[in-house]
Structure 1
Amino acid sequence: MIMIKTNQINFLKKNYNGSSSQKFSKEISQLRCSQQSSRVRCCYINPTTQTQIVRIDNVASGFLERVVLPHKKIIFEASPDDYLEVHTGNPISSILSDKILCHRLIYREFYPP
């Protein structure tokens, strides 16, 4: 489920104060749809010989945390402005080894020759 930022809801409440609740509900659903359409499919490949944990923690996109084995890939959806955190090592003592902007990880199934 996609969450709407509090300041956006407050803006809508302020502008629709006294208007019908139907108009307000319509605006919120349009805002949710526009947020969903801004998500892109991303791909990350673990280039190391160690197990990695990748994580996206963002209110708008939800929460993602997955284990990526060495030389394996993960495909996921996120907002282009989200950051993928890459933690290397075992789950107990992993360290943040990289932070990658998701728009740099956009997945393309077919690459031109």
Structure 2
Amino acid sequence: MPHILDPLPQDNENQICCCYVNSTSQMQIARITNVQNWYFERVVFPGQRLIFETPSYGFLEIHTGMMASSILSDKIPCQQLILLGEDEPSPFLMPQVSTQLEYANK
């Protein structure tokens, strides 16, 4: 995925593709600030999906607010936003599925 404005640092091998959805009715600013030598900031409108690449250790900060001010409303590890293919199982759903199967077998 090309980053036209500010490409990812080339020395990073563990890049992941992520997706964030603004499910609020307010405009948000999405930022990743913990990656050295890289600036990532995007406006995410209500209902919009933001797909991006980042180093696996990145944290997505979500800033919500009005015209002149914003508040840090969430800080999400990018590992939780990994975009998977159709045939890839989500590592976050695995424990829930096994728990449901245990109850179904009883």
More helix by share: 1
User: Which amino acid is 2:78 matched to?
Assistant: C
User: Which amino acid is 2:25 matched to?
Assistant: T
Determine the C-alpha separation between the residues in 2 that align with 1:52 and 1:46: 7
Q: How many residue pairs are counted as aligned between the two chains?
A: 81
1:55 to 2, 16, 31: 31
In the alignment, is the contact (CA less than 8 A) between 2:64 and 2:71 conserved in 1? yes
* TM-score, normalising length: structure 2: 0.67
> Aligned-residue CA RMSD in angstroms?
2.0
User: What is the CA-CA distance between 1:79 and the residue it aligns to?
Assistant: 1.2
Give ranges in structure 1 of 5+ residues lacking alignment.
4-31
User: What is the CA-CA distance between 1:57 and the residue it aligns to?
Assistant: 1.6
2:53 to 77, 90, 101: 77
Give ranges in structure 2 of 5+ residues lacking alignment.
1-7, 89-106
Matched, 1:106 2:57: no
Distance change (3 Å), C-alpha of 1:44 and 1:61: farther
Which one has the largest radius of gyration?
Answer: 1
Bigger mean CA offset, 47-56 vs 90-99: 90-99
The equivalent residue for 1:2 is: 9
Bigger mean CA offset, 74-83 vs 86-95: 86-95
Distance change (3 Å), C-alpha of 1:45 and 1:111: farther
Matched, 1:95 2:87: no
In the alignment, is the contact (CA less than 8 A) between 1:61 and 1:79 conserved in 2? no
In the alignment, is the contact (CA less than 8 A) between 2:35 and 2:58 conserved in 1? no
User: What is the CA-CA distance between 1:56 and the residue it aligns to?
Assistant: 0.5
